[in-house]
Amino acid sequence: MIKYKLICKNCNLLFDSWFASSKEYENLKNKKLLNCHVCNSKKVEKTLMAPKLLRTNNHRNDKNNFKVKEINKKLKEYQKFITNNFENVGKNFAYEARTIHYNNKKKYKGIYGTASKEEVKELREEGIEAEMIPWLENKNN
Ligand SMILES: [Zn+2]
């Protein structure tokens, strides 16, 4: 079921009407079966619902903003854990990861750093565990 806001072009009456589908509305309109229940005019048309759509979009954005904030909060917690418990190897991440893997080096700490997507892909192909997480720049530093 679809609810359309209809307007009578003759008396300017606005009213809601239910249709099984947008096709049914078109059918009724083409067969001139749509008429204003006040003045009986057949000049009845669907009104544009743009303002309502706009509101819906804004609402969705608010929700997304909220989600982004939640995700950022989680990421920051994750980052804090990593910086406290892992060794920062910076741009040498791929090199360090390989060194640990191939030399069977047992590091007390895990490592973290930056690597390109390709580097991470290569590491994974070599059987080296590497996870990518989005990293937030700390604006306070
Ligand atoms: Zn009317």
- 42 plus 82 within the same structural domain: no
Residue 14 Cα to ligand 1 midpoint, Å, equals 9
Q: Which residues of 89-107 are buried (b: 16+ CB within 10 A; e: fewer)?
A: beeebbebbbebeeeeeee
DSSP 45: E
pLDDT in tens, 73-116: 888 888 888 888 888 888 898 898 888 888 876 666 788 888 88
Proportion of the chain above pLDDT 90, given as a percent: 22
Residue 82 burial (10 A CB sphere; 0-12, 13-18, 19+): middle
- 31 plus 87 within the same structural domain: no
> Sorting pLDDT into bands at 50, 70 and 90, what band is 67?
confident
Is 136 within 8 Å of 68 (Cβ atoms)? no
0.95 exceeded by the pTM? no
Which residues 6+ apart lie within 8 Å of 53 measured at CB? Answer: none
Domain for residue 88, yes or no? yes
- Residue at token pair 């009724």: 28
Main-chain dihedrals φ then ψ at residue 68, nearest 5 degrees = -60, -40
Is residue 78 helix, strand or coil? helix
- 87 plus 65 within the same structural domain: yes
Residue 42 Cα to ligand 1 midpoint, Å, equals 8
- As for how many domains the chain has, the answer is 2
Residue 103 Cα to ligand 1 midpoint, Å, equals 85
Give the pLDDT of residue 8: 93
- 90 plus 116 within the same structural domain: yes
Residue 34 Cα to ligand 1 midpoint, Å, equals 11
Residue 51 Cα to ligand 1 midpoint, Å, equals 23
- 42 plus 90 within the same structural domain: no
Residue 126 Cα to ligand 1 midpoint, Å, equals 74
Residue 52 Cα to ligand 1 midpoint, Å, equals 23
- 63 plus 120 within the same structural domain: yes
- 71 plus 25 within the same structural domain: no
Closest CA relative to residue 93, chosen from 72, 123, 64: 123
- 67 plus 37 within the same structural domain: no
- 29 plus 76 within the same structural domain: no
Domain for residue 24, yes or no? yes
- 91 plus 112 within the same structural domain: yes
> Sorting pLDDT into bands at 50, 70 and 90, what band is 141?
very low
Domain for residue 138, yes or no? no
User: Which of 19-23, 44-48, 124-128 comes out lowest in average pLDDT?
Assistant: 44-48
Residue 47 Cα to ligand 1 midpoint, Å, equals 14
Domain for residue 107, yes or no? yes
The structure tokens listed for 95 are 């090199």
The whole domain housing 41 covers 2-46
> Could you tell me which residue, 51 or 38, shows the higher pLDDT?
38
